[in-house]
Structure 1
Amino acid sequence: MITVIANLKGGTGKSTVTFNLAIWLQSMGRRVTAIDLDPQQTLADAAALRIEEGVAPALLVEAGAFPDVDFPGDAEEIIIDVGTADLESFKQAIMIADRILVPVTPSQADIWSTQRFVEFLSRNTHGNPPESITFINRADTSRTIHATDEAAAALDALPGLRLIPQRLSNRSVFRDSFSEGLAVFELEPRSIATREFTELAEALYGPGNRSLLARVQKQKISTLVDPAQRLALAAPAEKLAVHGRVSSERLTAAIVAPAAEA
């Protein structure tokens, strides 16, 4: 299945969602190909950092632009991260997608942008767009703030989109894990963020093998951190420590295909 993670508006967390979904699928034993069509290549950078840090499984990302990217024939799942800076690749990705996943942050500007995106999809697929699924990303964590529920209601009213109830809250662990080349469930396996992400992933791809994922998480805890950090990671979620590995330099050039010349 080809899933395109897309939105006309930047800053909605597309690359972070793509990265976490790809690692989750790999941890479930699925053959995954991740493709980065955004000229910023944020997804490719995170994958390169993961390789540099020696984290398994490595995520190899095809990066560039259509038609230069390679689609391996043995992939069970293909996940494509697209950005509007390369509009032609954006359009071509939509044309080949089996479905489109649209992360939306809870703001009026994002709702307007999503409405325009639905119209964009219809225009560029001859009125026959693929299944389009949306969810709230970076939801407010305070129950006294109603912007998230209001945004969800607005999305639910948009024709051409299917809103799923699973949400990812605006939690720093999503940023912290991504900046270390880790999925959120690898950095803080017992956190609320991991629970939210797992619910989202299972809503999109079906129930995962949680016992297998638990073994993967346990292995990472035992091999990636020192004993003191291992104890911290085994503690309750609110006491989890963020282990601070800092990359000296990225190895992007070693695994990322050159972008197509303009």
Structure 2
Amino acid sequence: MIFTTAGEKGGSGRSTIAEHFTVWLSKQGFDVLLIDADEQGTASDFTAWREQTLDGNVGYTLVQLVGANLRKQVETMKSKYDHIVIDTGGRDTTSQRAALFASDVAIIPIQPRSHDIWTLAKFTEILEEIQATRATPLIAYTFLNRADITSADNRESAEALSAIEQMTFIDCPVKNRKAYPNSGSAGLTVFEMGEKADLKAINEITELFKRISHVNINVTA
């Protein structure tokens, strides 16, 4: 399948989700391609750090693709991999639209803040435009990312997201934990921290990925 992390707001954690999802899928035994379609190149930087930490054995293939031609290139590569994960920037770009056209599933992480929720009005319009031109529907999942450990904002934002008809809300919030930047600084994921692993982080993001991918396999540290 082809998955794209997308949205209209920067700072929602799309790249972290894309990187973790790619590694998680690879740990299930799948051959995974990670496409960095964000001009900022966050996923590429993560992979470069990962190559240094793991002596080049990152566990997946990375390519950088931007622009309208992305859609055609994805079509030519999809038969070579079990899954493709595309990381796009936090704005309406040609690359993001091309990625969504080519994808089976859109993954839209949202921070539990009012201004992040408001950006979804514009993004739902983009989804509707893309859906109108597709032969098969694009599945769109949204969830709370970088959520406070305990906050009324989480509940209110969850209610707002669950009311959006164009997306399916997954009630598996990914909390704002230090485990993510701590692992990411070395090009690793929370699944790979050994004795320093945060089991709460592992469990919550694993449950999210199971629901997005429909793969029912546990990942241990």
Structure 2 distance, partners of 1:73, 1:127, is 23
Conserved 8 A contact 1:98-1:131: yes
Instruction: Report Cα offsets for 1:159-192 as digits up to 9, x if no partner.
Output: 2111011110011111111121001111243521
Q: Which has the larger radius of gyration?
A: 1
Pair 1:165-2:166 in alignment: no
Q: CA deviation at 1:98?
A: 0.7
Residue 24 of structure 2 corresponds to: 24
Structure 1 distance, partners of 2:63, 2:190, is 22
Pair 1:200-2:201 in alignment: no
Residue 143 of structure 2 corresponds to: 135
Pair 1:98-2:99 in alignment: no
Aligned pairs for 1:2-81 (under 5 A) are: 2-54=2-54, 56-66=57-67, 67=69, 71=77, 73-81=79-87
- Structure 2: runs of 5 or more not aligned: none
User: Quick one: which amino acid aligns to residue 3 of structure 2?
Assistant: T
Residue 240 of structure 1 corresponds to: none
User: Quick one: which amino acid aligns to residue 189 of structure 1?
Assistant: A
Alpha-carbon RMSD across the aligned residues, in angstroms, is 2.0
SS of corresponding position for 1:65: coil
Structure 1's consecutive aligned runs of 4 or more residues displaced over 6 angstroms after TM superposition are none
Conserved 8 A contact 2:179-2:197: no
Structure 1 distance, partners of 2:65, 2:214, is 30
SS of corresponding position for 1:45: helix
Structure 1 distance, partners of 2:91, 2:109, is 18
Conserved 8 A contact 1:104-1:135: yes
Conserved 8 A contact 2:210-2:217: no
Structure 1 distance, partners of 2:61, 2:181, is 20
Q: Alpha carbons of 1:157 and 1:35: their partners in 2 closer, same or farther (altered >3 Å)?
A: same
SS of corresponding position for 2:173: strand
- Structure 1: runs of 5 or more not aligned: 218-262
Q: Which moved more, 1:194-203 or 1:78-87?
A: 78-87
For normalisation by structure 2, the TM-score amounts to 0.88
Pair 1:110-2:116 in alignment: yes
Q: CA deviation at 1:209?
A: 3.5
Q: CA deviation at 1:131?
A: 1.2
SS of corresponding position for 1:73: helix
Q: Alpha carbons of 1:160 and 1:127: their partners in 2 closer, same or farther (altered >3 Å)?
A: farther
SS of corresponding position for 1:80: strand
Residue 191 of structure 2 corresponds to: 185
Q: Kindly, what percent of the aligned residue pairs are identical?
A: 30
Structure 1 distance, partners of 2:132, 2:160, is 25
Residue 230 of structure 1 corresponds to: none
SS of corresponding position for 1:166: coil
Q: Alpha carbons of 1:167 and 1:86: their partners in 2 closer, same or farther (altered >3 Å)?
A: closer
User: Quick one: which amino acid aligns to residue 135 of structure 1?
Assistant: F
Structure 1 distance, partners of 2:198, 2:111, is 24
Aligned pairs for 1:111-260 (under 5 A) are: 111-126=117-132, 130-142=138-150, 145-187=151-193, 188-210=196-218, 213-214=219-220, 217=221
Structure 2 distance, partners of 1:181, 1:34, is 14
